[in-house]
């Protein structure tokens, strides 16, 4: 699939999750400056090129409009659901790209690839056998399932990945627009060094 075009993809919104505890990093990952820009701002800018509206769920590190979680620190499922509720309050009930803020090498090309996939439901990349739910596009069914699970007290991202509407994207799919480095997250200072960034 060749990804062409510019500007936000119709019907696709975006969420950047910035509220993680960053325990292993020892400081707020979202605020770490990489090549003159905070990681959250870097990710948020790339997301806003392909998704509209694009919102941040967290303390406000990305330059995007901010959604606050009801109770901070409950994990990515609750953050995602807070973002989904904010989007539905704005009238958006369609596909959503969800991104963790600690993916400094994610590219516009990869995000546009996810946004433009023809499947009506969720599309989730798989890298070295591992699903990447925090760099994926989710459909309404999965997001509604996630909201119900969060309301029932669940914290795992598993409800997003269950159901018949999930298409798994292997390297033969996403590898045409990105390499595996695009999915590299930074959980510790060692990860920053591994990715080639000074700390």
Query: What does the alpha-carbon distance between residue 60 and residue 68 come to, in Å, rounded to a whole number?
Result: 9
Fold exhibited by the domain 12-192 = Spore Coat Polysaccharide Biosynthesis Protein SpsA; Chain A (3.90.550)
Residue 2's pLDDT is what? 46
* pTM > 0.75: yes
Query: What does the alpha-carbon distance between residue 30 and residue 43 come to, in Å, rounded to a whole number?
Result: 9
Residue 35's pLDDT is what? 81
Residue 193's pLDDT is what? 66
Burial label, 197 (beta-carbon count in 10 A; 0-12, 13-18, 19+): middle
What is the domain partition of the chain in residue ranges?
A: 12-192
Instruction: List residues bridging with 54 in a β-sheet.
Output: 14
pLDDT by residue, tens only, the chain of 199 residues: 445 578 999 999 999 999 765 555 556 677 788 788 888 999 999 999 999 999 999 998 899 999 998 767 788 999 999 999 999 999 999 999 999 999 989 999 999 999 999 999 999 999 999 999 999 999 999 999 999 999 999 999 998 998 889 999 999 999 999 999 899 887 666 766 666 665 5
Q: In which residue are the tokens 């591992």 written?
A: 130
Query: What does the alpha-carbon distance between residue 190 and residue 194 come to, in Å, rounded to a whole number?
Result: 6
Q: Give DSSP secondary structure letters for 24-61.
A: TTTS-GGG-EETTEEHHHHHHHHHHTT-SSEEEESSS-
Residue 115's pLDDT is what? 98
Specify whether the CB–CB gap between 55 and 64 falls below 8 A: yes
Residue 36's pLDDT is what? 82
Residue 194's pLDDT is what? 66
- Going by C-alpha positions, the residue among 105, 138, 118 that lies closest to residue 1 is 118
Strand locations in the chain (E)? 12-17, 33-34, 37-38, 54-57, 66-67, 95-100, 122-127, 130-131, 135-138, 166-169
């Amino acid at each position: 699939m060749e990804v062409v075009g510019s500007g936000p993809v119709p019907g696709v919104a975006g969420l950047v999750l910035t509220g993680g505890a960053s325990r292993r990093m020892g400081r707020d990952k979202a605020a770490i400056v990489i090549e003159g820009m905070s990681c959250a701002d870097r990710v948020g800018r790339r997301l806003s090129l392909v998704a509209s509206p694009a919102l941040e769920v967290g303390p406000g590190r990305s330059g995007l409009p901010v959604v606050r979680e009801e109770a901070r620190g409950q994990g990515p499922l609750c953050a995602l659901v807070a973002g989904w509720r904010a989007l539905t309050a704005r009238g958006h009930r369609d596909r959503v790209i969800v991104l963790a803020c600690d993916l400094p090498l994610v590219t516009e090309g990869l995000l546009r690839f996810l946004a433009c996939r023809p499947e009506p439901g969720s599309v989730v990349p798989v890298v070295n056998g591992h699903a990447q739910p925090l760099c994926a596009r989710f459909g309404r069914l999965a997001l509604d399932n996630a909201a119900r699970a969060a309301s029932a007290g669940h914290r795992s991202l598993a409800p997003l990945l269950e159901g018949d509407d999930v298409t798994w994207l292997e390297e033969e799919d996403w590898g045409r627009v990105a390499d595996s480095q695009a999915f590299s997250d930074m959980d510790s200072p060692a990860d920053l060094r591994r990715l080639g960034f000074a700390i």
